[in-house]
Structure 1
Amino acid sequence: MKPMRAKKIFLYFVLFLLTIPIGMATRLYPNYFPDLIRIYGGDVLYATCLFFFLRFLFPVTELVKLGILSFLACIIIELQQLYKASWIVHLRHTFPFGLILGYDFALSDCICYAIGCLLGMSIALLLERSWALGR
């Protein structure tokens, strides 16, 4: 593996790991955040986190493709919240599955996911352009 590719993979893994506690903080410590971030920040960072994870897994795939894939995955997860069978409702109310699957459908979440994917793509674009210029 080339050194630059290894650096890229490592960086996206670190970004993925860093995004998780920041996103969770918006839910666990809402009093420390302005209303806009408290209400929507977790959903934006959820999509950003997924984008970083996919970039970690697929470091040479086009950014736009990963952005679209991240957004579609978030939308599918959001849409599954419309399914209200008792077994999945119970599963959603456990800590890890509640974080991953969410609880209730909200159209505003879909907008947050689009913003989060664009945020992830923008960060990736800035990082990767700076690496290309630094060669």
Structure 2
Amino acid sequence: MSLKVNYNYLLVAFLVIFLGIISRKTSFIPLFIGDILYAIMIYCMVEFFIWSKNNTLKFIFPLSICFIIELSQLIDLNWLNALRHTALGYYILGQGFLYSDLLCYTVGILIAFTVDANRKG
């Protein structure tokens, strides 16, 4: 792993955040699309901050972040619940555990990883 900044990932992450917000505000877009976009955003942020040529790490690390955040929703701590009730905490940490979210995160990371690998050749 090396510390290398690639601003393309940051730009894509902000675009995905924008699309994710739109997906939550429009009724015709299924809610699971937002979860897929969330995972793509996590992938881009990881690639922005921690660039790696190791394909296994590029797939597993952002997926692990998504899973840890989702699994943290099973923890019932007052301070964590208070954080979840803020706007930023709501968007980052979510509100309730769903197994389907884990599937959506896996699909999102797989999409981002595949697009990234094909883009680089």
TM-score > 0.5, shorter chain as reference: yes
Structure 2 counterpart of 1:30 = 26
Q: What is the root-mean-square deviation of aligned Cα atoms in Å?
A: 1.6
Count residues in correspondence. 118
TM-score, normalised via structure 1 length: 0.80
Cα separation, partners in 2 of 1:60 and 1:86, compared to 1, 3 Å: closer
Residue 72 of structure 1 corresponds to which residue in structure 2? Answer: 64
Show the counterpart of 1:58: 50
Kept in 1, the 8 Å contact 2:52–2:58? The answer is no
- TM-superposed CA distance for 1:63, in Å, is 3.3
In the TM superposition, structure 1's runs of 4+ consecutive aligned residues that sit over 3 Å from their partners are none
Code of the residue aligned with 1:68 in structure 2: it is I
Give unmatched runs, 5+ long, in structure 1.
Answer: 130-135
Q: Please give the TM-score of this superposition, normalised by the length of structure 2.
A: 0.89
Sequence identity, in percent? 29
Alpha-carbon offset, residue 32 of structure 1: 4.1
**Does the CA contact (< 8 Å) of 1:10 and 1:56 recur in 2?**
yes
Q: Point out the structure with the larger helix share.
A: 1
- Post-superposition Cα deviations, 1:56-101, rounded to whole Å, max 9, x if no partner, equal 1223332331211111111111111011223322210110011001
The answer for unaligned runs of 5 or more in structure 2 is: none
Give the number of the structure whose alpha-carbon radius of gyration is greater: 1
Other structure's SS at 1:31 match: coil
Is the 1:64–1:121 contact (alpha carbons within 8 Å) kept by the matching residues of 2? no
